[in-house]
Amino acid sequence: MSNKLTVTNHNRNITGLTYVYPVLSRRAGGLSIGINFNINNACNWRCIYCQVPELKLGAAPKIDLDLLAKELRSFLDDVLHSDFYNRMNVPNEQRVIKDIAIAGNGEPTSLVNFDVAVQLIGDIATELGVFPNSHFVLITNGSLIHRPVVQAGLKVLYNFGGEVWFKMDSGTLEGRALINHSAQTNEAVLKNITLAVQCCLTKIQICLVDYQQRGFLASESEGFLELLTTIHATTPIQNVTIYTLARPSQQPEAVNLQAMPLDVMQDFAQKIRLLGFDVTVTE
What domains appear along the chain, each with residue ranges and CATH number?
A: 20-208 (3.20.20.70)
pLDDT at 10 exceeding the cut of 50: no
pLDDT single digits (tens) 216-240? 999 999 999 999 999 999 999 999 9
How many Å apart are CA 197 and CA 28, to the nearest integer? Answer: 21
Count, residues in the chain: 283
pLDDT single digits (tens) 12-21? 566 789 999 9
Confidence of residue 83 (pLDDT cuts 50, 70, 90): very high
Per-residue pLDDT, 15: 77
Average pLDDT of every residue of the chain: 93
pLDDT at 94 exceeding the cut of 50: yes
Q: Which of 145, 151, 184 is nearest to 47 (CA)?
A: 184
pLDDT single digits (tens) 115-152? 999 999 999 999 999 999 999 999 999 999 999 999 99
* 204 within 8 A of 168, measured Cβ to Cβ: yes
pLDDT at 98 exceeding the cut of 60: yes
- Rounded to an integer, the average pLDDT of 186-211 is 97
Per-residue pLDDT, 30: 87
Confidence of residue 247 (pLDDT cuts 50, 70, 90): confident
- Rounded to an integer, the average pLDDT of 199-223 is 97
Per-residue pLDDT, 25: 72
List CB contacts of 168: < 8 A, sequence separation 6 or more.
Answer: 142, 189, 193, 204, 205, 206, 224, 227
Per-residue pLDDT, 3: 60
* 211 within 8 A of 251, measured Cβ to Cβ: no
* 155 within 8 A of 59, measured Cβ to Cβ: no
pTM for the full model?
0.92
270 sits in the region (left: phi over 0; alpha: psi -120 to 50; else beta) called: alpha
pLDDT at 93 exceeding the cut of 80: yes
Q: Which residue has the higher pLDDT, 94 or 226?
A: 226
Would you list the DSSP string of the chain? -----BTTB--TTTT--SSEEEEEETTTTEEEEEE-S-TT-EES---TT---TT-EES------HHHHHHHHHHHHHHHHHSSHHHHTT--GGG-SEEEEEE--SS-GGGSTTHHHHHHHHHHHHHHTT-TTTSEEEEEE-STTTTSHHHHHHHHHHHHTT-EEEEE---SSHHHHHHHT-----HHHHHHHHHHHHHHSEEEEEEE-EEETT--S-HHHHHHHHHHHHHHHHHS---EEEEE---S---SGGGGGEEEPPHHHHHHHHHHHHTTT-EEEEE-
- Rounded to an integer, the average pLDDT of 200-222 is 97
Per-residue pLDDT, 27: 61
- φ, ψ (nearest 5 deg) of residue 97: -80, 110
pLDDT at 283 exceeding the cut of 70: yes
